[in-house]
């Protein structure tokens, strides 16, 4: 829907995103309770092309959420300019109260790129907008009547999906006017309930709405999706994108008692359809959802075509005969993205093999102070690690101390995987139990 033309009245600065996750009534009460600004810091701006995102801090007194109403509070405020003039963002909805109170309440503004030219993605209390330059004039288009809270590029990493990220990066100056990426052209956008409300094509600035993606909400053992639940965490993000088919893949779990099973969900954006493709963890040697990749799918699955249907309507099916890939460890097993190296399902003897490898190849030394019956403490240079083995899940994990850079862990994972793939240590792997892999 095309937004109204910008108002000539300049935007005032607006509070940072702390208010974006509260009900409208609560935000109204908070806004009415605010006193006048006490002071503000000097403004700073981030520029790209004809656009500038101007930023400053203010101190206010009033009933801010979770704050003492008798003290001043530091908040972030900003506005978006085109060739030095403030741009207004107006709601396309019919709620007069929302239109009056929240039309200029900017929450987020960040740069993305359309055919190499910068455009601004803006989130306000009244919705999500894209701002571009057309013939030297600002052009505003409303994408949704709710502010976006998360995004994911479907094609930003060598044509494959990037990580699921949050818009709300905080009230600091460095968080405002971020460059969200120059490589991606398809941007999946999510609202406050983490529901996908569309895929923005940055080439055309058109939003493609999919009823299938809108149904991506957590429902335990969702009957509409074969009993498989949607994972709203970063683990449930889109894993694979097929540009030629306009199809994407993500992973859905299903839990029946203590038994866990998994399936690929293949979404076709062209005809707004989906298919569920169950797979076996042991057969595919999968121990982390983050390891689902185009190469993994190509090895274990194939497209089955029907001469009477278009190529994009082909069904993805497991291959009937396939030699499993070797078992390997993973650095993507932790759902919170912590830099660890996980090996499972392995026998207890793998612990001794890993420890000897770390001593021989990385000069690891034992740290008795951090060692327990199930945990071995060690140091590699100045970095502290632990090795933990869990008998119930047959999981062996190398964990760096919190705050330790993940570069050493990544080097260890690469080298040790090469050793276990090319050696007799495949015999130290066993089979995942009914509960699947540990997360």
3-class DSSP assignment, residue 177: coil
Same domain, 240 and 165: no
Least confident range of 3-17, 377-391, 395-409: 3-17
Higher pLDDT, 308 or 334: 334
Q: Which of 287, 318, 349 is the last residue of a domain?
A: 318
Residue 10 falls within a domain, yes or no?
Answer: no
Same domain, 183 and 86: yes
35: region left, alpha or beta (phi > 0 left; psi from -120 to 50 alpha):
beta
The predicted-structure confidence for 408-432, as pLDDT tens digits, reads as follows 899 999 999 999 988 889 999 999 9
How many Cα atoms occupy the beta-carbon half-sphere of 370 within 13 Å? Answer: 15
Residue 4 falls within a domain, yes or no?
Answer: no
How many structural domains compose the chain?
A: 3
What are the start-end ranges of the E strands in 135-217? 137-144, 150-153, 165-166, 186-190, 196-201, 206-208
Same domain, 201 and 227: no
Going by pLDDT thresholds of 50, 70 and 90, the confidence category of residue 307 is: low
Residue 299 falls within a domain, yes or no?
Answer: yes
* Residue with tokens 């969702």, as numbered in its chain: 222
pLDDT score of 116: 93
pLDDT score of 92: 53
| Distance from C-alpha of 208 to C-alpha of 438, rounded to nearest angstrom | 36
Same domain, 79 and 164: yes
Compute the average pLDDT of residues 296-307.
91
Residue 437 falls within a domain, yes or no?
Answer: no
Same domain, 128 and 158: yes
Least confident range of 158-162, 237-241, 268-272, 432-436: 432-436
Strand order in the sheet with 165-166: 165-166, 150-153, 186-190, 196-201, 206-208
Domain with 94, as residue range(s), is: 17-209
Same domain, 57 and 74: yes
3-class DSSP assignment, residue 400: strand
Going by pLDDT thresholds of 50, 70 and 90, the confidence category of residue 235 is: confident
Question: What is the model's pTM?
Answer: 0.81
12 pLDDT above the threshold of 50: no
Residue 3 falls within a domain, yes or no?
Answer: no
Residue 270 falls within a domain, yes or no?
Answer: yes
The predicted-structure confidence for 331-364, as pLDDT tens digits, reads as follows 988 776 677 999 999 999 999 999 999 999 999 9
Residue 335 falls within a domain, yes or no?
Answer: no
Q: Which of 168, 194, 209 is the last residue of a domain?
A: 209
Same domain, 162 and 219: no
pLDDT score of 233: 83
Judge contact between 108 and 122, C-beta under 8 A.
Answer: yes
Higher pLDDT, 170 or 300: 300
CATH code of 360's domain: 3.30.310
Same domain, 247 and 295: yes
Which of 274-278, 288-292, 306-310, 332-336 has the highest average model confidence (pLDDT)? 274-278
Higher pLDDT, 427 or 8: 427
Same domain, 98 and 110: yes
Task: Calculate the average pLDDT of the chain.
Answer: 83
Same domain, 265 and 282: yes
Same domain, 171 and 224: no
Residue 328 falls within a domain, yes or no?
Answer: no
Q: Which of 173, 194, 209 is the last residue of a domain?
A: 209
Same domain, 295 and 406: no
Q: How far is CA 428 from CA 120, 282, 353, 354, 422, in A?
A: 53, 15, 10, 12, 13
Higher pLDDT, 46 or 298: 298
């Amino acid at each position: 829907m095309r937004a109204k033309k910008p108002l000539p009245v300049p935007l005032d600065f607006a509070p940072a995103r702390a208010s974006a996750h509260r009900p409208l009534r609560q935000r109204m009460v908070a806004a009415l309770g605010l006193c006048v600004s006490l002071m503000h810091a000097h403004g700073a701006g981030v520029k790209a092309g004809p656009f500038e995102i101007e930023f400053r801090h203010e101190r206010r007194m009033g009933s801010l959420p979770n704050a003492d109403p008798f003290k001043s509070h530091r908040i972030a405020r900003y506005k978006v300019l085109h060739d030095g003039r403030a741009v207004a963002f107006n709601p396309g909805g019919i709620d007069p109260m929302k239109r009056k109170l929240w039309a200029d309440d900017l929450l987020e503004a960040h740069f993305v790129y359309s055919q190499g030219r910068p455009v601004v993605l803006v989130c306000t209390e009244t919705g999500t907008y894209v701002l571009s330059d057309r013939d030297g004039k600002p052009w505003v288009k409303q994408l949704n009547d709710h502010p976006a809270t998360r995004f994911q590029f479907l094609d930003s990493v060598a044509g494959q999906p990037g990580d699921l990220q949050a818009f709300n990066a905080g009230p600091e100056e460095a968080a405002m006017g971020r460059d969200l990426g120059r490589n991606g052209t398809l941007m999946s956008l999510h609202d406050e309930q983490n529901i996908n409300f569309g895929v923005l094509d940055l080439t055309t600035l058109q939003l493609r709405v999919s009823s299938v993606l809108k149904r991506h909400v957590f429902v335990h053992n969702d009957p509409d999706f074969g009993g498989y639940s949607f994972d709203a965490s970063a683990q449930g993000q889109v894993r694979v994108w097929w540009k030629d088919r306009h199809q994407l893949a993500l992973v859905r779990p299903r839990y029946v008692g203590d038994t866990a099973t998994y399936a690929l969900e293949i979404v076709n954006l062209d005809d707004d359809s989906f298919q569920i493709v169950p797979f076996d963890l042991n057969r595919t040697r999968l121990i982390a959802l983050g390891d689902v990749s185009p190469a993994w799918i190509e090895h274990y699955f194939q497209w089955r075509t029907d001469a009477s249907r278009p190529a994009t309507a082909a069904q993805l099916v497991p291959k009937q005969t396939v030699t499993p890939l070797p078992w390997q460890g993973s650095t993507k097993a932790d759902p919170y993205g912590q830099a660890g190296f996980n090996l499972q399902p392995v026998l207890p003897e793998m612990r001794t093999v890993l420890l000897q490898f770390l001593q021989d190849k990385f000069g690891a030394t034992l740290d008795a102070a951090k060692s327990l019956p199930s945990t071995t403490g060690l140091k590699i240079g100045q970095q502290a690690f632990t090795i933990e083995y869990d008998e119930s899940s047959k999981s062996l994990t190398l964990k760096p101390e919190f705050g330790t850079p993940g570069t050493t862990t990544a080097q260890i994972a690469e080298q040790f995987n090469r050793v276990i793939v090319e050696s007799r240590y495949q015999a130290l792997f066993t089979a995942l139990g009914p509960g699947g892999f540990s997360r």
